[in-house]
Amino acid sequence: SRTVLWFRRDLRVQDHPALVRAAADGAHVVPLFVLDPALLEPAGEPRRAWLARSLAALDATLQSSGGHLVVRTGKPEDVVPEVAREAGAEQVFVTADAGPYGRARDARVARALEDGGRRLRAVGSPYAVGPGSLLTGGGTPYQVFTPFSRAWLEHGWPEPAGRPRPHWADAAGDGTGISVPDQSLGGVEPGEAAARRRWREFLEDGLADYADRRDRPDLFGTSQLSAALKFGEIHPRTLLHDLREVSSRRPTLAAGAEAFRAELCWREFYADVLWHRPETAREYLRPQYARMRYDEPGAAFEAWTQGRTGFPLVDAGMRQLLADAWMHNRVRMLVASFLVKDLHVEWQHGARWFMQHLRDGDLASNQHGWQWVAGCGTDAAPYFRVFNPVTQGKKFDPDGAYVRRYVPELAHLPGGAAHEPWKHPEGYAHGYPEPVVDHGAERVEALSRYDEVR
Ligand code: FAD
């Protein structure tokens, strides 16, 4: 018999429960990817480039076991039933999608398949614990990270799925690919094999110091796996399994493993929040913040997007985003705080810019990362806590190396002086802009706007 495996955010063949099920009982599997214009158009160049290369990598993997990826363009509710009919497949297997668009799309596809007497079968999710599975003792969704993380650990997750050796079946693709923009992905390679390689390297070289180094944008202390996780080139279950395994063998890795597990849990937490409250992809999780006074994005917003605010760590982050399609987490928090609290611009404008320019742009992590920083999200940093860009710089980029790496106009300033060009006689010698706002004054302004809605 034949089945279809419709790949979406699961561009891998290992630890893939839906593939295991699709290939069960010796079924021949048609591996399908649908280029859906509704998703591709708003994705932004980095994610389109990542996807194109990840699909090429997946195709190469399939070819090495006698198959090839069938790529079609169109509305999934038209294309998927068509491919299933052509292949004579009764069942289409997918990894469940937890996002608002994906859930609605899958409901449409399931209906269209049913009309032809076929079935959409969802197996697993892009998360260790499926979004929506955990509820508080009172039966309500979690809104606070710490109790969620306790419930998440207690719930646990299955071991990685064994590797199937499917017989691949063929179907006609329509050959329309994604035009791959000439886009830098920050030197990080898309695809399952590259993700696994990076993970092994990180286990060897990065995990031991992860807890100490993960907050330092000047060091290369994080895994850079976010886009691989976003596109499902590696599954968090695999990572969680390996973390337990290495830390039981090498106790010195236990602290790093625990810190890394907590970050994976943030990813799962935000997906869970978005699953319960899909409207928070656009709207405030805490509605009173919608009533606050904000400024329309204008020249200062433009300066923020281009990394020309005159605050070195903010600008370094925004330029890292444009150069590498990625930004260090600590700096994401700072630039988000700066946009909302120093420039008084609503978080949605910044979140949209991030989604267009990040290679790892992910609706749940991004929108809720923004809401958390903006003070209007889950157990958020309280609104009155406003990051000071200079203090943050001196603390997390003590030698100014990160600023110098991304802001050439400050490359001549030694050490921590890169964070305070106004204190250096040569600070503005190479055209670095002066601050667009007075941080102290805008902090007071932000607090007074906050008082109005409190
Ligand atoms: P590591 O430190 O190696 O972490 C391992 C993995 O854990 C990451 O790959 C990621 O999947 C997950 N993770 C780590 N930190 C977080 C976090 N705070 N929230 C959720 N998951 C986390 N992450 C995205 O994947 N996509 C986004 O669009 C995104 N937007 C963000 C926007 C803002 C304003 C903020 C503050 C954070 C955002 N994050 C986002 C979270 C975080 O910044 C990135 O996941 C992280 O920087 C990715 O780098 P890494 O893979 O080297 O992380």
- Name residue 38's beta-bridge partners: none
Of 161, 39, 19, nearest in space to 91 by CA? 19
User: Residue 183, Cα to own-chain centre: how many angstroms?
Assistant: 18
- Over residues 290-337, the pLDDT tens digits come to 999 999 999 999 999 999 999 999 999 999 999 999 999 999 999 999
Pair 308, 437 in one domain: yes
- Over residues 115-149, the pLDDT tens digits come to 999 999 999 999 999 999 999 999 999 999 999 99
335 CA from centroid of ligand 1 (Å)? 14
In a domain, residue 148? The reply is no
- Over residues 199-255, the pLDDT tens digits come to 999 999 999 999 999 999 999 999 999 999 999 999 999 999 999 999 999 999 999
DSSP secondary structure, 319-330, as one string: HHHHHHS---HH
Q: What is the pLDDT of residue 178?
A: 81
Q: CA-CA distance, 129 to 236, in Å (whole number)? A: 10
Q: What is the mean pLDDT of residues 361-371?
A: 98
Q: What is the pLDDT of residue 139?
A: 96
Q: CA-CA distance, 314 to 304, in Å (whole number)? A: 8
Pair 116, 238 in one domain: no
Residue with CA closest to ligand 1 atom 35:
369
Closest ligand 1 atom to the C-alpha of 361? 28
Task: Give how far Cα 178 sits from Cα of 44, 71, 164, Å.
Answer: 12, 10, 29
pTM of the model: 0.97
Pair 295, 443 in one domain: yes
Pair 267, 305 in one domain: no
Q: Which helix (H) or strand (E) holds 93?
A: strand 91-94
Q: What is the pLDDT of residue 408?
A: 98
Residue with CA closest to ligand 1 atom 45:
226
DSSP secondary structure, 412-442, as one string: TS-GGGGG-GGGSTTTTTT-PPPPSS-HHHH
Q: CA-CA distance, 98 to 36, in Å (whole number)? A: 17
Q: What is the pLDDT of residue 379?
A: 81
CATH code for the domain in which residue 441 is found: 1.10.579.10
123 CA from centroid of ligand 1 (Å)? 25
Pair 446, 307 in one domain: yes
Q: What is the mean pLDDT of residues 158-174?
A: 91
Q: What is the mean pLDDT of residues 46-73?
A: 95
Q: What is the pLDDT of residue 164?
A: 84
Query: Phi, psi at residue 136, to the nearest 5°?
Result: -70, 170
Task: Give how far Cα 164 sits from Cα of 13, 22, 23, 137, 240, Å.
Answer: 8, 10, 7, 38, 21
Q: What is the pLDDT of residue 292?
A: 95
Q: Is the pLDDT of residue 380 over 70?
A: no
For 278-412, where are the E strands, in sequence order? none
Pair 79, 209 in one domain: no
Q: Is the pLDDT of residue 181 over 80?
A: no
Amino acid identity of residue 383, one-letter, is Y
CATH code for the domain in which residue 99 is found: 3.40.50.620
Q: What is the mean pLDDT of residues 284-289?
A: 94
Token couple for 419: 């964070």
In a domain, residue 69? The reply is yes
Task: Give how far Cα 231 sits from Cα of 125, 263, 281, 353, Å.
Answer: 12, 17, 19, 20
Pocket lined around ligand 1, Cβ cut-off 6 Å: 214, 222-226, 229-230, 263-264, 266-267, 270, 329, 332-333, 336, 354, 358, 360-362, 365-366, 369-370, 373
Pair 308, 410 in one domain: yes
Cα angle, residue 163 at apex, residues 157 and 166 outer, rounded to 5°: 130
Contact 135, 141 (CB under 8 A): yes
Q: What is the pLDDT of residue 113?
A: 98
Q: What total number of domains does the chain contain?
A: 3
Q: What is the pLDDT of residue 180?
A: 75
Pocket test for ligand 1, best of 329, 376, 378, 379 (most atoms within 8 A of CB): 329
8 CA from centroid of ligand 1 (Å)? 20
In a domain, residue 354? The reply is yes
Q: What is the pLDDT of residue 361?
A: 98
In a domain, residue 314? The reply is yes
Q: What is the pLDDT of residue 47?
A: 96
Pair 30, 80 in one domain: yes
Which region among 74-83, 161-170, 269-278 has the lowest average model confidence (pLDDT)?
161-170
Determine the length of the chain.
454
In a domain, residue 224? The reply is yes
Choose the final residue of a domain: 77, 103, 124.
Answer: 124
Q: What is the pLDDT of residue 162?
A: 85
Residue with CA closest to ligand 1 atom 14:
263
341 CA from centroid of ligand 1 (Å)? 21
Query: Phi, psi at residue 5, to the nearest 5°?
Result: -105, 110
In a domain, residue 250? The reply is yes
Choose the final residue of a domain: 276, 303, 322.
Answer: 276
Pair 299, 436 in one domain: yes
DSSP secondary structure, 30-85, as one string: EEEEEE-HHHHGGG-HHHHHHHHHHHHHHHHHHHHTT---EEEES-HHHHHHHHHH
Average pLDDT, the chain: 96
Q: What is the mean pLDDT of residues 77-106?
A: 97
- Over residues 420-444, the pLDDT tens digits come to 999 999 999 999 999 999 999 999 9
In a domain, residue 76? The reply is yes
Choose the final residue of a domain: 276, 300, 323.
Answer: 276
Pair 337, 376 in one domain: yes
Pair 254, 299 in one domain: no
Q: What is the mean pLDDT of residues 361-390?
A: 92
Residue with CA closest to ligand 1 atom 11:
226
Q: Is the pLDDT of residue 112 over 80?
A: yes
CATH code for the domain in which residue 209 is found: 1.25.40.80
Query: Can you tell me whether residue 2 is helix, strand or coil?
Result: strand
In a domain, residue 102? The reply is yes
The winner for highest mean pLDDT among 171-175, 285-289, 405-409 is 405-409
Q: What is the pLDDT of residue 179?
A: 77
**How many other CB atoms are there within 10 angstroms of residue 298's CB atom?**
10
Closest ligand 1 atom to the C-alpha of 336? 34
Whole domain around residue 19: which residue ranges?
A: 2-124
* Complex-level ipTM beyond the 0.95 threshold: yes
Pair 314, 261 in one domain: no
